[in-house]
């Protein structure tokens, strides 16, 4: 480093970058601002973010300037897979070629100095329910004495629409929601702050390429529509949800906030993470048939107040993102750039692989003990939840997804 100017020398931004999970094999996109300036597109390399528009300008790539000089990823995402691949290849060249040294050095910022914004303008938000372990756990907890899975579960990826307008970026505080709950089935409902505030650790997929109304997207083409991957925390007020959800599903128990990571990892970065999904217990209808490796080998980690409470395994998911997308459009519904669909809670077969506190504490029967001696069933005000994930990269390294973190604030 030239200490006088603080400028980096060629390639120095790559030193140690791979070890952070944000090396050249990752290159996630985000929207950031520095010093109160206008939000703009950036790509992450190590602990730095590269301001993309001025670099594209200096490199003379006007089409990319038009895509990068924006405050959301949507215009870039709408361009489709070839444009995404071209941009990724150019960014890699910029970061590694001596001829771009001065430009790159001039437009790198430390991530800690950047204010990260919601990276996409969310169109529709759909949340699935695709972990068999999670669905079986919730069935056993909430509908004891009945089959853990509803009869449809092995035949289709069950999902529902959530509230797109309350998707927030990591770091945004989550205010404990108030609402109706019915502590006793023999008494009227009461109103007040949720007493059973929970998380759902999920992986989200962001749609880039839109589709036409009336034209279902086949499984084989589904991932051509997916720009990238994020981590999602689908906050859930279990008491509000339990009272409201019949017969039309979750509503206010979910709609107060859904957090997503600031960094959108291009799907192309996960080529080495493709795995075969778990074997089918029931044959699937043709439109859901997916030969090949539809799963993704992501290792998630859930921390409560700095202490790891769970390590959910995404490779355990029964329904894959391509199946979810094909199902979501099979009735003719169209996709829009910015649609976000999330996996549903990622839970593995082991107790310490569960992605929600209703499972981890078995509906408050088995409280968790934290290192400070305190116990938890559901979340308390002031609690901080952090979800991270890594995946195998192409060069025997690990690549990281951006974290999704938030602190619980009390009901006003």
- The secondary structure element, H or E, covering residue 106 is helix 101-106
Dihedrals phi, psi of 398, to nearest 5 degrees:
-105, 140
Which DSSP string do the residues of 266-285 spell out, in sequence order?
EGGGGGGGEEPPPPPSSPPP
Shortest CB 190 distance to a second copy, Å: 8
- Residue 126 or 203: which CB sits closer to a second copy? 126
Minimum CB distance to a second copy smaller for 51 or for 290: 290
134 is catalytic: yes
User: Which segments of 100-187 does DSSP mark as H helices, in order?
Assistant: 101-106, 132-142
Residue 175 CB, shortest distance to a second copy, in Å, is 4
Binding site for a second copy (CB under 8 A): 123-124, 129, 150-152, 155-156, 158-166, 168, 175, 177-180, 182, 185, 188-191, 213-214, 216, 237, 240, 243-253, 255-257, 282-283, 285-287, 327-328, 330-336, 339, 412
How far apart CA 249 and CA 283 sit, in angstroms, is: 27
> Could you tell me the smallest distance in angstroms from the CB atom of residue 124 to a second copy?
5
Q: Least distance from C-beta 49 to a second copy, angstroms? A: 25
Enumerate the H helices of 145-295 as residue ranges. 219-222, 238-244
The catalytically annotated residue of 134, 161, 307, 327 is 134
Residue whose CB is less far from a second copy, 181 or 398? 181
Q: Measured between alpha carbons, how far is residue 280 from residues 97, 297, 313 in Å? A: 47, 18, 18
CA end-to-end span of the chain:
48
For 100, counting Cβ atoms within 10 Å of its Cβ (0-12 exposed, 13-18 middle, 19+ buried), the class is middle
**Residues marked as catalytic:** 134
């Amino acid at each position: 480093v030239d200490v006088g100017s603080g400028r980096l020398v060629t390639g120095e931004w790559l030193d140690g970058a791979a070890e952070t999970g944000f090396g050249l094999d990752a290159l996630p996109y985000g929207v950031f601002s520095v010093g109160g300036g206008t939000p703009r597109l950036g790509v992450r390399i190590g602990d730095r973010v590269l301001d993309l528009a001025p670099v594209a300008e200096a490199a003379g790539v006007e089409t990319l300037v038009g895509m990068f000089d924006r405050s959301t990823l949507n215009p870039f995402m709408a361009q489709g897979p070839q444009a995404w691949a071209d941009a990724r290849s150019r960014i890699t060249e910029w970061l590694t070629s001596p001829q771009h040294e001065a430009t790159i050095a001039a437009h790198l910022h430390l991530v800690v100095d950047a204010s990260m914004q919601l990276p996409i303008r969310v169109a529709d938000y759909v949340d699935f329910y695709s972990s068999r372990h999670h669905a079986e756990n919730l069935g056993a907890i909430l509908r004891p004495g009945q089959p853990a899975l509803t009869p449809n579960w092995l035949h289709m990826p069950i999902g529902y629409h959530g509230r797109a307008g309350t998707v927030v970026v990591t770091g945004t505080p989550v205010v404990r929601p108030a609402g109706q709950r019915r502590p006793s089935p023999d008494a009227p409902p009461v109103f007040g702050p949720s007493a059973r505030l929970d998380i759902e650790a999920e992986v989200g997929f962001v749609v880039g390429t839109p589709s036409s109304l009336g034209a279902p997207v086949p499984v084989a083409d589904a991932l051509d529509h997916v720009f990238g991957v994020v981590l999602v925390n689908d906050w859930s007020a279990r008491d509000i949800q339990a009272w409201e959800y019949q017969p039309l599903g979750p509503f206010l128990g979910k709609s107060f906030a859904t957090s997503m990571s600031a960094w959108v990892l291009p799907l192309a970065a996960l080529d080495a993470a493709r795995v075969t999904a778990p074997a089918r217990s029931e044959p699937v209808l043709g439109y859901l048939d997916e030969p090949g490796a539809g799963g993704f080998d992501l290792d998630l980690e859930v921390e409560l107040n700095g202490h790891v409470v769970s390590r959910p395994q995404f490779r355990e998911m029964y329904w894959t993102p391509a199946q979810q997308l094909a199902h979501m459009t099979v009735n003719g519904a169209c996709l829009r750039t910015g649609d976000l669909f999330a996996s549903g809670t990622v839970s593995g077969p082991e107790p310490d692989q569960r992605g929600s506190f209703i499972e981890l504490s078995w509906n408050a029967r088995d409280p968790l003990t934290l290192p400070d001696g305190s116990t938890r069933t559901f979340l308390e005000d002031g609690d901080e939840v952090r979800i991270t994930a890594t995946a195998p990269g192409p060069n025997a390294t690990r690549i990281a997804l951006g974290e999704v973190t938030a602190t619980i604030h009390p009901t006003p």
